[in-house]
Amino acid sequence: MIIRLAESKDVKVIQNLCDVFYFVYTDALLDSIKRKRVLVAEESDKVLGVVIYALKEKKVSVLVVDKEQRGKGIGKALFEESVRFFNVTQMKIMATEDPTNSVPFWKAMGFFPLPQIVKTKRGNKLRPMIYIKEKKQ
Ligand X SMILES: CC(C)(COP(=O)(O)OP(=O)(O)OC[C@H]1O[C@@H](n2cnc3c(N)ncnc32)[C@H](O)[C@@H]1OP(=O)(O)O)[C@@H](O)C(=O)NCCC(=O)NCCS
> 125: Cβ–Cβ under 8 A, 6 or more apart, which residues?
96, 97, 98, 117, 118, 119
β-strand 125-132 against 90-98: which pairing, if any?
antiparallel
> 111: Cβ–Cβ under 8 A, 6 or more apart, which residues?
93, 95, 129, 130, 131
Q: How far apart are CA 92 and CA 62, in angstroms?
A: 13
* Binding span for ligand X by CB under 6 A among 5-13, 28-36, 72-80, 111-119: 72-80
Does residue 61 belong to the site contacting ligand X (CB under 6 A)?
Answer: no
Among 71, 121, 135, 136, binds ligand X (CB under 6 A): 71
* Cβ distance to ligand X smaller for residue 76 or 84: 76
Does residue 64 belong to the site contacting ligand X (CB under 6 A)?
Answer: yes
Does residue 76 belong to the site contacting ligand X (CB under 6 A)?
Answer: yes
Q: How far apart are CA 42 and CA 77, in angstroms?
A: 11
The partner residues of 5 in beta bridges, in order of sequence, read 39
Among 70, 81, 88, 113, binds ligand X (CB under 6 A): 70
Min dist CB 82 to ligand X, Å, is 12
Min dist CB 45 to ligand X, Å, is 19
Interacting positions 100-119 with ligand X (CB under 6 A): 100, 102, 104-105, 108
Binding site for ligand X (CB under 6 A): 63-65, 70-76, 95-96, 100, 102, 104-105, 108
